[in-house]
Amino acid sequence: MEKFTNTFQKMDKPIILLEGVNIHQDERLIFDNINLSISKGDFIYLVGETGSGKSSLVKSFYAEVSVSAGNIFVTDYNLNKLNKNEIPSLRRDLGIVFQDFQLLSDRTINENLEFVLKATGWKNKDEISNRINEVLESVHLENYNTKMPHELSGGEKQRAAIARSLLNRPKVILADEPTGSLDPKKSEKIVELLKEINEKGTTVVIATHDYEIIKKFSSRIIKCSEKKLQEITIDEL
């Protein structure tokens, strides 16, 4: 594993760092020479118009999209020098939440979470059961273990998806339009939950176009526009 070296071995090193990064997708330049520093415990909104690159940027953090120039560091990994067999280890540091939940429809919530734990190396049945109960409690879905995804509301499905993202105690939660398919009240509850998780020390990065949520739960805002990143205030939305 290629870790941060020298400058990046300080206690206050960023948990995500981009230096002069270019990102292409299908030969199209999405970002040109961008820089970004995210500290441990930050709560970040990524905003921008459709097609501005928010999702591509988030995908670059978990090595789904590679950078074509510059340096990108995520948790303890230099993604420019990451081997394919190290990607699962990187992703265990990250909890990824999608707009469309991506729950397995033919399995209970417990079985959905158990599947992830077993796939990431958990073997002890008691430890698996205890961890599932812990994450369900943390997202306020106690006693939902035996529910099927179709029995849950949209907000409950997203809570289950967030529970799944927490299973391996990630350092960073990456949420790509997590409220995009929810009504305003449920959207508010999801961001409240992500704030709760953040307050316990987990870094949270949300790509969103929901400006009402940002205004209600203000935090640091990074705008994707014209292939660049710009830190803005709520008044500039």
**Does the residue 55 lie in any domain?**
yes
Give residue 101's pLDDT band: very low, low, confident or very high (50, 70, 90): confident
What are the two backbone dihedrals, phi and then psi, of residue 152, each rounded to the nearest 5 degrees?
-100, 150
**Does the residue 14 lie in any domain?**
no
Q: Which amino acid is at 73?
A: F
Percent of the chain with pLDDT over 70: 95
**Does the residue 74 lie in any domain?**
no
CATH number reported for the structural domain that contains residue 192 in this entry: 3.40.50.300
Percent of the chain with pLDDT over 90: 86
Rounded to the nearest integer, the mean pLDDT of the chain is 92
**Does the residue 25 lie in any domain?**
no
What are the two backbone dihedrals, phi and then psi, of residue 39, each rounded to the nearest 5 degrees?
-90, 160
The set of residues, in sequence order, having a beta carbon less than 8 Å from that of 64 and lying 6+ positions away, is none
CB distance 187 to 179 below 8 Å: yes
> pLDDT tens digits, residue range 7-40?
344 457 899 999 999 999 888 999 999 999 999 9
96 or 9, which is more confident: 96
Residue 126, number of CB atoms within 10 A of its CB: 7
**Does the residue 12 lie in any domain?**
no
**Does the residue 77 lie in any domain?**
no
Tell me the mean pLDDT in the region 179-204.
Answer: 95
CB distance 87 to 121 below 8 Å: no
What distance in Å separates the CA atoms of residue 79 and residue 65, rounded to the nearest whole number? Answer: 10
25 or 55, which is more confident: 55
**Does the residue 8 lie in any domain?**
no
Tell me the mean pLDDT in the region 71-98.
Answer: 93
pLDDT at position 62 is 96
The number of domains in the chain is: 1
Tell me the mean pLDDT in the region 202-206.
Answer: 98
**Does the residue 24 lie in any domain?**
no
Give residue 165's pLDDT band: very low, low, confident or very high (50, 70, 90): very high
Q: What is the pTM of this model?
A: 0.91
Provide the domain limits for residue 45.
Answer: 41-63+84-236
Q: DSSP characters for 103-165? A: --TTS-HHHHHHHHHHHTT---HHHHHHHHHHHHHHTT-TT-TT--GGGS-HHHHHHHHHHHH
